[in-house]
Structure 1
Amino acid sequence: MPQFKVRTEADTRDITADRMEFAEGGVRFYSEGRVVAAFSRYLWAEEVVVKTDPVQVQEAGANPPTDTAE
């Protein structure tokens, strides 16, 4: 489930929700179709992107490496 950060006037909050929606008068966070958090006064809101290591993908038509151990 995506993670979000919201900076309010007082602190920074971590929110776990399916999606974030900017609405008139604030920002809302939804999970399973229900509002799980809402802020009417905030400075910024962003989705936290978790970086993962790139996965090696073989080119199409490439032969898999062979085991040469004898």
Structure 2
Amino acid sequence: MTVDNIVLQSAGSLSVALLALVMVIFQSILLFKKNRFILYGWSMGISFSAMLYAIGIFFEYNSPPGPVNQ
């Protein structure tokens, strides 16, 4: 997959994945500095799962037809 072959509509899911990665890093810093708040861990997990979902959507739209893209 080259940059020329990326579907323009899926670029938004890639940017969502990058924002979710930034949130995972930020929330993990908060979790390790203030570990008495358990919600930082939960929000870090939710951001991580959103990042994985957005990456999956990006690869689904940009993969050639086959087992990844039905």
With the length of structure 2 as denominator, give the TM-score of the two structures. Answer: 0.21
Q: If the length of structure 1 is used for normalisation, what is the TM-score? A: 0.21
More helix by share: 2
Larger RCO (CA under 8 A, 6+ residues apart):
2
Larger gyration radius, structure 1 or structure 2: 1
More strand by share: 1
